[in-house]
Amino acid sequence: MPNAFNFNASPFDCLTQDEQRLVRDSVDVAYFPEGATILEVGIAPTHLFVIIKGYVSQMEGSEVLTSYGPDDSFDGRGLVAGKVSSRFIAAEEVVAYQLAKQAVSDLIASNATFGALLFSDLSNKLSALSARQNQHELQSLTMSRVDEAFLRPAHFVDAKADILSIVKLFQAERTSNVLVRDSSASPERLGIFTATAIQRAILDGRPLDQLPVGDLANFKLIEVKPSDQLGDAMAIMLRHRVHRVVVVDEARIVGILEALDLFSFLSNQSHLITEKIEDARDLDGLSQAAAQITRMIALLYRSGSRVNLIASLVQQLNARLFERAWNLLAPPELVANSCLFVMGSEGRGEQLLKTDQDNGLVLRDGYTPPDDLADICNRFSAALASFGYPECPGHIMVSNPDWRNTASAFAQMARQWLILPDGDSLMKLAIFMDAHAVCGDAHLLEDVQKALSQLATDNDAMLSRFASAIDAFGTNTGWWNRLLGLGGDSAQQLNIKKEGIFPLVHGVRSMALSKRITETGTVARINALVTEDMLSPEMAADLTDSLYFFMGLKLKAGLAELDTGRPVTGSIDVEKLSSLDRDLLKDTLGVVKRFKVLLRLRFHLEAVG
C-alpha cells in the first residue's frame, strides 16, 4: 500500500524523486476505530499521519477546531515542537499512513518548502505559497506582446517646422515626442525629436521660432513589431540606450512604446490608468479608464503580486475615478462644501473586483446646496453603474436622500442607529464605520465619525448587539463538511465572504469601535488593537494572513467566473482547490473560529438574544 502514497497532495507535492523514495521506505499504515484518540495533548509524537480513509477532529477542550480528511496530514507542528498541543480524535473509522519522525526531520533538512508547508504556522505556509507563485512573475509578463502594453499615439511633423511650434504641440497633445518627416531627403526619411532635445535647441543659439526641428531630430529610429515580446523590447531599449521605440507593423506606424509605459505594464499599469482618469474630459473618457482597472487586477494577480498591494492600488484608482466623476458633475461650490465618501470594502481599502456602490455625501451645516442636487447625485450613481459598479440593492448611495445629508443630520441619524436595536440600524452603523473620504472637505466626515465613536463606546449593550453579527451568516460547525466534500454536490460551494471575511472583518470592527479606534482598514485596525493590548501579536498575524488569503482566493474565483462569462458570486468551488489551497483554507477558517471564541468572551455574546 505505501506504493500508492499520493505525492500530489500538499506538502508532499514539492518532494524530489529521492525524497519520495525516502517516504516510501519510512511509511506504515495504521488503523483507528471511530472515537479513538490518535494523539493526546502533551505527548511527544513519533509519527506524522496522512489520512487515507476517514476523518479526524482536532479538539481544544470540547471545541472542534478543525477537521481532516483524505490526503490531509497532521500533526506536523507537534512533531517539530516535540509536543502535541491539541487532541486528535477519529471522527469515524480512520486508515492512515504514519511517517516516522526521523524521515520527517530528514525531509525538513533537505527541503525548506516541505518544512514550511508542514508547520501549522499559517504565515510559514503562506510564505511558501507566495514563493511558488513568484517564480514565474516577471517571466510571464515579459513574454507578453508589445501591443498588449500601452502604446502612445504617434504625432507627425515636417522637418521644416520650428522648435517653438513643436513645444506648443508637446503641451497641446500632452506628449514628449514627435516623429519628423524629412521630404527633402531621397528617399524620404523619418526621425524623432523628444523633449530631452529641447536643451540642445536652446544651446544652439538660434531663435527657437527659426530653428527647424529637422536639424536636431534623430533619424536612426529604433523599431519593434506589435507581435514582439515585451522582454525583447526591453532588451532593445537597454542595448541602444533609448527610452522609447517605434512600433511598426509592415511599414505602418502603430504607436510609440515608452520605457515608462513598458515598466508600468511589468509592474502594475496603475500610473497609466491614473493618467487616463486625470486627462478625461467627460464621463465617456472615465469609462474607458474604469474598464482597464479589472484588466490590471487580473494581470497583477496572475503575475504573483501580493493581494494587499493590489487592493491598495485599486482603492487609489477608484478614489481618483470617483473624485474625477464627481468633479465633472458637481459645481465647485458644492464640492467645496461637502464630502463625498465611500463605504464597505471600498472604504476599508479591501475591494478588488468591482462590487456594489456604497457611498454617501455629507453637506456642511448652513450651506444651501443647488436646486438640482438630487439630479447631480442621480447622474453620479448612474455614471458609476456605467463604469461597472452595480447599484447597491439596499440603495446605500448618494442617489438616496437618506445618504446625502448635513453633518448634523448625519450625526442625528447615527445616534438613532445606536439606540435602535434592530438589525437594519446595526448594519448601517457597520457600513458607516468604514466610511472613507474621496472628494471635498474630509473634515466634515471625520467630525461625524468622532461623535459616533464617543457615543458608541459608552454603551456595552449596543456593542454586544453590534458584535453579535459575527454569526449572521456563518454555519459555525458545518464549514469543514463542505471543505471535505461531505453533504452532497451543493456542499462543494463555499461562500468565502460569509464564512470567512465577514466574521473576521466585523469582529475586528467591533473591537475597534469599543476602543474608539478611528482607522477604517481591517489590517490597520488589527495593528491598533495590538497596541491597545486587545489582540496578541500572534492572533493579529494570523488574522491578517487569513484576510489576505481569503481575498486572494475570492479574487481567483471571481476572475475565473469573469473569464467564462459568468457573474461574480463570491463562492469557492471546494472541489477545484489545490491540496495546498485546501489546506490553507482549513487553517484560515480555523483562525476565524478561534477569533469568534475570543469575541464571544469579550462581548458576552452568549447572553445576547
- Is 136 inside any structural domain? no
In a domain, 126, yes or no: no
Q: Which domain holds residue 83?
A: 2-119
Q: List the single range of 6-15, 249-258, 495-504 with lowest mean pLDDT.
A: 6-15
Residue 127 resides in a domain: no
For the chain, the 3-state helix, strand and coil shares in percent, each to the nearest 5, are 55, 15, 30
CATH number of the CATH domain containing 52: 2.60.120.10
Residues 238 and 317 in one domain: no
pLDDT for 378: 96
CATH code, domain carrying 588:
1.20.120.330
pLDDT of residue 1: 43
pLDDT of residue 503: 94
Report CA torsion sign: 120, 48, 574, 298. Answer: positive
Position 360 pLDDT exceeds 90: yes
Query: pTM for this structure?
Result: 0.68
> Same domain for 447 and 305?
yes
Q: Which of 456, 482, 517 is the last residue of a domain?
A: 456
**290 and 397 belong to one structural domain:** yes
Asked whether residue 250 falls in the same domain as residue 281, the answer is: no
Domain shared by 233 and 281, yes or no: no
Residue 3 predicted with pLDDT over 70: no
Q: Cell match 438616496: residue?
A: 400
My answer on whether 176 and 229 are in the same domain is yes
Domain boundary among 456, 486, 501: 456
Whether residue 261 contacts residue 272, with contact meaning beta carbons closer than 8 Å, is answered with yes
Q: Say if residue 438 is in the same domain as residue 523.
A: no
Same domain flag for 353 and 220: no
Beta strands in 140-242 (DSSP E): 156-158, 177-182, 189-194, 223-224
Is 231 part of a structural domain of the chain? yes
Any domain includes 137: no
Q: Domain for residue 243, yes or no?
A: yes
pLDDT in tens, 195-243: 989 989 999 989 999 999 999 999 999 999 999 888 788 878 877 888 8
Own/partner pairs for 24-29, CB < 8 Å, 24+ apart?
25/103, 26/99, 26/100, 26/102, 26/103, 27/2, 27/97, 27/98, 27/99, 27/100, 27/103, 28/2, 28/97, 28/98, 29/1, 29/2, 29/95, 29/96, 29/97, 29/98
Burial of 251 (0-12, 13-18, 19+ CB in 10 A): exposed
Give me the CATH number covering residue 382: 3.30.460.10
308 and 450 part of one domain: yes
Query: Are 79 and 37 within 8 A, CB to CB?
Result: no
Own/partner contacts of 471-476, CB < 8 Å, gap of 24 or more, are 471/503, 471/596, 471/605, 472/502, 473/497, 473/498, 473/499, 473/502, 473/503, 474/498, 474/499, 474/502, 474/503, 474/596, 475/499, 476/593
Taking only the tens place, the pLDDT of each residue in 9-18 is 878 888 999 9
Per-residue pLDDT, averaged over 160-173, amounts to: 93
Burial 38-52 (b: 16+ CB within 10 A, else e): bbeeeeebebbbbbb
Summary mean pLDDT of the chain: 85
Instruction: Kindly state whether residues 355 and 397 are assigned to the same domain.
Output: yes
Final residue belonging to a domain, choices 432, 456, 480: 456
- How many domains are there within the chain? 4
Instruction: Give the residue-averaged pLDDT of 570-574.
Output: 82
Out of 129-138, 317-326, 488-497, least confident range? 129-138
Give the integer Cα–Cα distance in Å for 564 and 554.
16
* CATH number for the domain that contains residue 260: 3.10.580.10
Q: Which of 119-128, 359-368, 596-605 has the highest mean pLDDT?
A: 359-368
Q: Which residues pair with 192 in a beta bridge?
A: 179, 218
Query: For residue 251, is it within any domain?
Result: yes
Same-domain check for residues 232 and 289: no
Q: Are residues 409 and 468 in the same domain?
A: no
Look at residue 125 and tell me if it is in a domain.
no
For 100-148, the pLDDT digits (tens) are 999 998 998 888 778 777 765 666 666 656 655 554 444 555 667 888 7
pLDDT in tens, 528-553: 999 999 999 999 999 999 999 999 99
| pLDDT at residue 216, rounded to an integer | 94
Residue 218 backbone dihedrals phi, psi, to 5 degrees: -100, 115
16 close to 111: Cβ distance less than 8 angstroms = yes
